[in-house]
Amino acid sequence: MFSKILSIVVIMFFSLISFGQKESMALIEGGTYIPLYGSDSMPVNVVDFKIDKYPVTNAEFKEFLEENPKWRKSNVIALFADGNYMRHFKNDTELKEGELQNAPMTNVSWFAAKKYCECQGKRLPTLDEWEYVGMASEKRADARTKDEYNKFILSWYEKPNSYNQEIGSTFKNYWGVYDMHGLVWEWTQDFNSVLISGESRKDVDGSNDLFCGGAAVGSSDLMNYAAFMRYAFRGSIKANYSVRNLGFRCAKSINKPNQ
Amino acid sequence: MNAKDIKAVSEMKAELTAPPFVPKSTADREATKLKVDMEILEETGEMADGVEYVYWTFGGSVPGSFIRTKVGDEVEFTLKNHPDNKLPHNIDLHAVNGPGGGAASSFVAPGHEITFSFKTLNPGLYVYHCATAPVGMHIANGMYGLILVEPEEGLAPVDREYYVMQGDFYTKGEFGEQGEQPFDMQKAIDEDADYVVFNGSVGALTGDGALQAKVGETIRLFVGNGGPNLVSSFHAIGEIFDRVHVEGGDLINENVQTTLIPAGGAAIVEFEVDVPGELVLVDHSIFRAFNKGALAMINVTGEEDKDVFAGTIQEGIYLPEGGTIQSMPSDDEDDAKEETAAVELSKAEKMELGKKVYGSTCFACHQADGQGIENAFPPLANADYLNDDVNRAIDIVLRGKSGEITVNGKTYNSVMTAQNLTDKEVAAVMTYIYNSWDNNGTEVTEEMVRKVRKK
Ligand SMILES: [Cu+2]
């Protein structure tokens, strides 16, 4: 009898969690978009998927560490996380003075972020998925042609030390997703699929005419500049890197029953 | 001997210096394995009094640390990107023969470092800069500096060497607009600079920052131009460059008045200072000097030499104007500026605002401590003319002044242009002046300014 009650409680508890999980993700309607930068500017198809409304926080990551001691600072294999891993933690479980529980988890490698998402039954968003969601302003699904929107992004890229703020402190976009811009960079599954060598003037050669082509200078240039910086950042990192301004959020595919 | 064949015999850590200083000559040493250790920092600094800007820097300064090498050195370069930085960076050294000047092999993420090496083959003064996308933005935020490759025997010894580098900056607010000013990409693309400065900020090399020299000394300036956009017409008011290493290379030109320094280029200029006084370095695209900040000073101390300079003729050609838009003196009654009704500032607030207005508007002529310049700009410090009549002084600021006046027993016959300031700013700057430098302590109200304006 007692165990029956317990199991009901447990079931309720889990369904609450999974309910909570549903709430914590936003549904993104797929579509096509033209990536701002890449080897060729062909339209890319993004199918419906879900993405976390907020970046993963320090507190959430701590919970994950409790269940996955392998990923604690003291245990993690160097191959999977460099020396900066969890640098803002005092030890395996406690944040340093002044770090917020509810701030985005950063100093985390791609391997650890990927593992975290897998343990939630999720995955990292693909680069295209991330960019697709990142096009949205508060009002529009694709705000890339809006000057103010691009200026906001650019001005954030310039400002040092924005990582130690609570999640949700920037704007909520068209899809109901927060903090895509203005808080931290985010890992994507295939972050280095577009290779930037660091010799950006060379990277520009060829198909993309950002610095060579157009005579008219307008918002499209601003938006390209903003995207450029994101790709440059992604091009500079490796999967075992942990960076103070780099966090992540998870995504999930939608399994359509008829497929 | 071919530079390629010079063998580096020893190993040493490079001395890096922040501007305006340069490391010591390499004349006394052999080619060596030179270890350069440079850190990239993104940090907030002051572009002008009360104007904040986020700089991206090589070594914590704009321009970045000066690197001094000599032909045949094997440079082992470690570039560190501070963990708190937000962006990846790299370095393109124009002194390097190789793809991208080292840029591709130096691309480094925040919290990481990278080491690469190169051999210095060509003597000269070279620019280095960040080349990460978007390149213009990284340069516009201050990511440039100079690397010198000395010839085997070193450059000829001189008495003093300094490091000066010009750069143009693009901010959301106009010149002098207070508070934190973000970079403005659109203005940068339009090449519409708000600031053109030497060594990263307005006044970096004036007042306490002025370069020092003594009469009879030979000065060598390593002058660079980071750009990103503007070409510099580099000139010293009151001095002729005895020698210029044109574009930082082997060619030496003599007796040069103004030397052109391209964006992404440099020059070495040398001159002997003959008379005491203040030499003013400017970009002779002259609005940049007096309205955008491209102005530096060399303080020359020592004995007068009347044969060289009699002292009675002033630099009459240059009427340094402040940063505010100038207009000629006028009697016009209705060009009063629209004023939004606002509360009067407290005296302390006026002092604060007044100091800033003074720094950006009056300073160029009346000088840092209100001492003026003899025969050209009358003093505001302990000035009888000022203290005698407050309304007359306000009127001069509002409408300008020309004709002969006598201040502290000396006559001046020159022109002060009308200053395009709001009543609030005039009240603040006048209060500031009256309560500084031994003046009589008058507090000027906006009402007083309004009355004079209506006259
Ligand atoms: Cu950079």
Does any domain span residue A2?
no
What percentage of chain B has pLDDT greater than the value 70? 91
- Most confident region among A204-208, A211-215, B168-172 by mean pLDDT: B168-172
Residue B30: pLDDT over 80: yes
A232 vs B84: CB contact, 8 Å cut-off?
no
**Residue A170 in contact with partner chain B when CB distance is under 8 A:** no
Which candidate from A160, A203, A204 shows the least CB-CB separation from B85?
Answer: A160
Q: What pLDDT score does A210 carry? A: 35
Active site residues of B: 89, 92, 94, 129-130, 138, 143, 235, 254, 258, 284
pLDDT at B309: 55
**CATH number of residue A160's parent domain:** 3.90.1580.10
CB contact A36 to B (< 8 Å): no
Is A20 part of a structural domain of the chain?
A: no
- A146 within domain boundaries: yes
Look at residue A145 in the predicted model and tell me its pLDDT: 80
Percent of chain A with pLDDT over 70: 76
How many angstroms is it from B88 CA to the middle of ligand 1? Answer: 7
pLDDT at B313 over 50: no
Asked, for residue A135, whether it belongs to a domain, the answer is yes
Is residue B305 predicted with pLDDT exceeding 90?
no
Quick: pLDDT tens for A152-188.
Answer: 888 888 777 778 889 999 999 999 999 999 999 999 9
Q: Which domains does chain B have, with CATH numbers?
A: 3-153 (2.60.40.420), 161-301 (2.60.40.420), 326-454 (1.10.760.10)
Out of A160, A237, A238, name the one closest to residue B42 (CB). Answer: A160
Tell me whether residue A126 is in a domain. yes
pLDDT: which is higher, B430 or A202? B430
**Is B130 marked within a binding site?**
yes
Does residue B322 register a pLDDT over 60? no
Q: Is residue A226 part of a domain?
A: yes
B94 appears as a binding residue in the annotation:
yes
- Domain residues for A235? 26-253
How far apart are the CA of B140 and the centre of ligand 1, in A?
10
Check whether B145 has a pLDDT greater than 90.
yes
Give domain status of residue A16, yes or no. Answer: no
Q: Is A257 on the interface with B (CB under 8 A)?
A: no
How many structural domains does chain A have?
Answer: 1
What's chain A's average pLDDT? 80
Going by C-alpha positions, the residue among B83, B86, B88, B38 that lies closest to residue A85 is B83
* Residue A236 at interface with chain B, using a CB cutoff of 8 Å: yes
Mean pLDDT of B366-383: 86
With bands split at pLDDT 50, 70 and 90, how would you rate the model's confidence at B331?
A: very low
pLDDT higher than 50, residue B318: no
d(CA A180, nearest CA chain B) in Å? 15
Test A196 with B111 for CB contact under 8 angstroms.
no
Contact assignment for A244 to B108 by CB distance below 8 Å? no
Q: Are B15 and B102 in contact (CB under 8 A)?
A: no
Chain A nearest CA to B281, separation (Å)? 31
ipTM over 0.90 threshold: no
Query: How much distance in Å is there from the Cα of A107 to the middle of ligand 1?
Result: 21
Chain B touched by A239 (CB under 8 Å): no
> Residue B332 pLDDT > 60, yes or no?
no
* Distance of residue A63 Cα from the nearest chain B Cα, in angstroms: 25
Which of the two residues, A41 and B280, has the higher pLDDT score?
Answer: B280
Ligand 1 center to residue B131 CA distance, Å? 6
Q: State mean pLDDT over B298-309.
A: 74
In a domain, A9, yes or no: no
Q: Tell me the per-residue pLDDT of B183-220, one tens digit each, with 9 for 90 and over.
A: 998 899 899 999 999 999 999 998 889 999 999 999 99
The answer, yes or no, to whether residue A38 has pLDDT greater than 80, is: no
pLDDT: which is higher, A196 or B361: B361
Instruction: Please check the confidence at residue B314 and state whether its pLDDT lies above 50.
Output: no
Q: Which of A159, A202, A222 sits opposite B100 (nearest CB)?
A: A202
- How far apart (Å, rounded) are the C-alpha atoms in residues A23 and A52? 9
CB contacts < 8 A (A, B): 115
Q: Determine the pLDDT at residue A256.
A: 63
A148 Cα: distance to centroid of ligand 1 (angstroms)? 24
Using the Cβ of B112 and the Cβ atoms of chain A, whether some distance falls under 8 Å is answered with yes
Question: Min CA distance, A115 vs chain B (Å)?
Answer: 22
- Contact state of A160 with B133 under an 8 Å Cβ cutoff: no
In this predicted structure, the answer to whether residue A131 has a pLDDT above a threshold of 80 is yes
pLDDT higher than threshold 70 for residue B325: no
Check A232 against B132: CB less than 8 A apart.
yes
Confidence grade of residue B1 (pLDDT, cut at 50, 70, 90): low
The alpha-helical segments, DSSP class H, found in chain A are 2-24, 58-67, 110-119, 127-134, 147-158, 200-203, 219-236
Of A160-169, B119-128, B239-248, the poorest mean pLDDT is in A160-169
The nearest alpha carbon in chain A to B88 belongs to A233
Say whether residue B100 is in contact with chain A using an 8 A CB cutoff. yes
| C-alpha A159 chain-centroid distance | 19
- Chain B residues in contact with A222 by the CB 8 A cut-off are 185-186
Q: What is the mean pLDDT of chain B?
A: 87
Of B54, B110, B186, the CB nearest to A245: B110
**By the CB < 8 Å criterion, does B229 face chain A?**
no
